[in-house]
Chain A
Amino acid sequence: MNSSQLLGITTFTYLFSTLLYVAMFVFKVKRMGKFATGFTAIALLIQTLGLGLRWYESYQMGIGHAPLTNMYESVVFFAWTIIAIYLAIEWKFRIRIIGAFAVPFAFLAMAYASLSTDMTKNISPLVPALQSNWLIAHVITCFIGYAAFTVAAGLGVMYLVKETSSSKRTSDDKTLLGSLPTLPQIEDITHKTMIFGFIWLTAGIITGAVWANSAWGTYWSWDPKETWSLITWFIYAITLHARYTRGWGGKRVAWLAIIGFFSVIFTYYGVNFILSGLHSYGSN
């Protein structure tokens, strides 16, 4: 058994998790919820083993480093973080149905990582610029932020779906959309998830700046990746301010969560492929 096999299996386990959560939602089979959660937790465990094994394998190859150094590894870690954060939210708020809106993102990420031909899946050694202790801190902080914003976007979609239902302020099993949490509940969780992501994105930008300063002598150079991370930071800063001081809520915040997510994806992925800059390691 090697790490590629384990990570390959992960793609299918997340697909199955997605199906379980969606089936629970569509067919209103509450009993399936526990099974979905348990299965997802096991899937996360398998992926954790896969990542751990990949780390170990890199040491066996004599180039030991954390599996966080190229596009493939980052997408895998992105999926891992989405599931970890989703399970934490499910545990904290005791609402399983969010899984139907959050877990698909992890499946899509894993499917992309497995099927894409744009990026190498090989474990490759670290080029000099990446040989820094800041690497792990920077990647982990950024991806916790990205994953939280992804779950927030899933919640935003959920909010907009619930909005179309006749039972906005209640949660019962009479109708399909009725079984979703109430609008204020979804809004509350979206907001908290965004705050969580915001703090981690802030930490991610800061660790990136400190790293850049120790490698190049410039903590900020308005390179496209940096600039886009700041744009994303501004979008969430605007959202949080609009909510606190102008009383924005509901649909507007749900849409902002989705817009913010597109900015995250562009920062993470788009910049590497469309714009050029310092983060070129990510594009292979």
Chain B
Amino acid sequence: MGRDALLKEIPHPLSTMSTKNSPPSIFTLVWDFFASVKLALMTLCIISLASVIGTIIPQNEALSWYAKRFGPQIARFLDLFHLTDMFGSFWFKALLGLLSTNLIICSLDRFPGIWKQIRADNLAVPVKRLISMKRNASWTTSLPPIKAVEELTLRLPGNGWKTASRETENGTLLFSQKGAWTRLGVFVVHASILIILIGAIIGSILGFKGSVSIVEGQSIEKIQPFGAAAFINLGFKVRCDAFNIEFYQNGMPKEYRSHLTIFEHDREILQKSITVNNPLTYKGITFYQSSYEGYKDFIVTLTDKDNGRKKTFSVPFQKQTEWQEEEVRFGVINVEAEREQVTRIKIWFTDQDGSPSVFWMDAGSQVAVDREGKHYLLSAKQMYSTGLQVAKDPGVWWVYSGCILMLLGLFTTFFMSHRKIWIFVCEKNSKTSIYMAGSANKNKSGFDGIFSNLADNLRNIKKITSK
């Protein structure tokens, strides 16, 4: 495995040991294999190609579906290599595992070198090397060396630059640097990927996802997670009090809303109406509005105005229902519908006295039914069930933290650099000579400008003081 340019610059103790002396041990070979960027690039390429396949072959359909679409031979082949649930397959997870191992070893391998660069004693750099640097400037001044050092120190940039100096045999070396820590940015990015993957693992072990459908007025306390046989007990009850759907004038859906109530030990804990993008979370379990189903049944609520008695019924279409206490019989005999949503309902209603009342009403509205000597309120609407996505994912905060770290790390890696400036002041032929050099690990052209501006600025010391 070829070492990369970074390591050529700063040899890692482990790698120099192995290349110079005895033949490399198995440990070193394995380590070097996982520490190589080539492996990372290969793994990324393979994951990308696999992902392409995973988007071309529709995922998670029934085996019969693949047989119908591609023929039984190919269907069996797809099943054998888990191409029908590729992203959940063992080999795809293994690829992600390989990438993670690669990331970890790569980072461990490079960290000591980078750390050395951050902690390096830049005042120990020999003057000869300074002069040979790409970015350098030199000039002489009539100021005595001590005075020159003083003036230069004053004029070195502030805002985050840290300056140090050291006396050597031949003169004084000044050093100033900024952003040494930015060299760690790349580790932050790599760590963030691992944190996101840890979050995903936590979610898949400690969390669950499922969906449930609740008919209006009914409640559930168990969830069957996707792909699992056993139900999970929620530990509380969720009731769907009502489901509403609203449309825009052009017929597009505007809002799906479920009114949910949570009960614990038959005690009402909280109520919330959820919409898409606005879920309900209770005890770490979140309920998302995801679908609905309209029934041919109706929900009819009757109130006896005189004695205040009230009862809600689920009423099948064109079937007579009876409220025994009040000796009332009623039913839905016809409906008007728009886009499969019932908009108007025709009610048939009778009690002991007189002929039946038959009338149309808007779905969801309440009307007064006045009988001989009796007064009722009646509301009726189509019955729905709401489809909820239910999820518990304790790993999600790991994932979000990883995402924030990734953005911070990328910004640091790409837009911030470690900049260094050295200035050497010495006496030569009864004149004070000044040598300046600088380096930056990134955005070198940007640093060129800063360096030459600073050099011009520092050269002016002589002029100011000689006046």
Kindly state the separation between the CA atoms of A234 and B41 in the bound complex, as whole angstroms: 9
**Number of B residues contacting the other chain (C-beta, 8 Å)?**
50
Q: Which of B251-271 contact A (CB under 8 A)?
A: 252-256
A23-31, A32-40, A224-232: which lies at the B interface? A224-232
What's the minimum C-beta distance from A212 to chain B, rounded to whole angstroms? 10
Query: Closest approach, in angstroms, between the C-beta of B39 and any C-beta of chain A?
Result: 11
CB <8 Å contact, B253 and A127? yes
A188 at the interface (CB under 8 A from B): yes
Contact indicator B410/A202 (Cβ below 8 Å): yes
For residue B6, which residues in chain A have a CB less than 8 angstroms away from its CB? 244-245
| Chain B residue with Cβ nearest A242 | B41
Q: Which of B50-101 contact A (CB under 8 A)?
A: 51-52, 54-56, 58-59, 87
The residue from B38, B48, B252, B411 contacting A127, defined by CB atoms under 8 A apart: B252
Contacts known (A125-B248, A215-B276, A216-B389); A271 close to B55, Cβ less than 8 A: yes
Q: Are A209 and B255 in contact (CB under 8 A)?
A: no
Complex Cα gap A213–B279 (Å): 10
Interface residues of A in 235-269 (CB under 8 A from B): 235, 237-238, 241-242, 244-247
A239 to B429, CA, bound (A): 53
Contact A132 B277 (CB under 8 A): yes
Residues of B within 8 A of A230 (CB): 51
Which A residues touch B275, using CB under 8 A? Answer: 128, 131
Asked if A124 lies at the interface with its beta carbon under 8 angstroms from chain B, I say: yes
Given contacts A217-B390, A218-B391, A238-B45, contact A245 B248 (CB under 8 A): no
B51 touches A227 (CB 8 A): yes
Closest to B59 in A: A222
Determine if A88 is an interface residue (Cβ-Cβ < 8 Å): no
A234 to chain B, nearest CB (A): 5
Minimal beta-carbon separation of A8 from chain B (angstroms) = 24
Q: Is A170 located at the chain interface by the 8 A CB criterion?
A: no
Q: A234 and B47 in contact (CB under 8 A), knowing A199-B414, A222-B54? A: yes
Task: Give the shortest distance, in Å, between A182 (CB) and chain B (any CB).
Answer: 13
User: Within 8 Å CB of B58, what residues of A?
Assistant: 276
A276 to B61, CA, bound (A): 14
CB distance from B206 to the nearest CB of A (A): 15
The smallest beta-carbon distance between B5 and chain A, in angstroms, is: 6
Chain A residue with Cβ nearest B275: A128
Contacts of A241 in B (CB 8 A): 37, 40-41, 44
User: Chain B: which residue is nearest A224 at the CB level?
Assistant: B55
- Per the 8 Å Cβ criterion, residues 187-233 of A in contact with B are 188, 195, 198-199, 202-203, 206, 209-210, 213-220, 222, 224, 227-228, 230-231
- The contact size tier of chain A is 35 or more
Q: Which of A128-163 contact B (CB under 8 A)?
A: 128-129, 131-132
Q: Find chain A residues with CB under 8 A from B403 CB.
A: 206, 209-210
| A231 lies within 8 A of B51 (CB) | yes
The smallest C-beta distance from A188 to any residue of chain B, in angstroms, reads: 7
Chain A residues, CB < 8 A from B44: 234, 237-238, 241
CB pair B51 A217 closer than 8 Å: no
Instruction: Tell me the nearest residue of chain B to A205, going by C-beta.
Output: B403
Quick one: closest A residue to B7, CB to CB? A245
Instruction: Report the minimum CB–CB distance from A168 to chain B (whole Å).
Output: 19
Contact of A95 with B by CB under 8 A: no
Q: Does A42 contact B (CB under 8 A)?
A: no
Contacts of A215 in B (CB 8 A): 276-277, 288
If A125-B254, A128-B254, A216-B389 touch, does A227 touch B54 (CB 8 Å cutoff)?
yes
Q: A18 CB to closest chain B CB, in angstroms? A: 29
**Measured between C-beta atoms, what is the minimum distance from B247 to chain A in Å?**
10
Q: Which residues of B contact A206 (CB under 8 A)?
A: 403, 406-407
Most buried by A among B5, B48, B55, B256: B55
The answer to whether B256 touches A231, judged by C-beta atoms less than 8 angstroms apart, is: no
Cβ-defined contact, A217 with B277, below 8 A: no
Is A63 touching B290 in the complex (CB atoms < 8 A)? no
Say yes or no for A275: interface residue by CB 8 A criterion: yes
Which residue of the partner chain A has the closest CB to B276? A128
- Check A213 against B396 for contact (C-beta < 8 Å): yes
Q: A124-B250, A218-B389, A222-B54 are in contact. List 16 more A-B contacts (CB 8 A).
A: A125-B250, A128-B277, A129-B277, A203-B407, A210-B403, A218-B209, A220-B200, A234-B51, A237-B44, A238-B41, A238-B45, A245-B5, A246-B4, A246-B38, A275-B55, A276-B58
17 A-B contact pairs sorted by A residue (CB < 8 Å): A124-B250, A128-B276, A129-B276, A195-B414, A199-B410, A199-B411, A199-B414, A206-B403, A217-B209, A217-B389, A219-B396, A224-B55, A227-B54, A234-B47, A237-B44, A238-B45, A245-B5
A interface residues, Cβ below 8 angstroms from B: 63, 124-125, 127-129, 131-132, 188, 195, 198-199, 202-203, 206, 209-210, 213-220, 222, 224, 227-228, 230-231, 234-235, 237-238, 241-242, 244-247, 271, 275-276
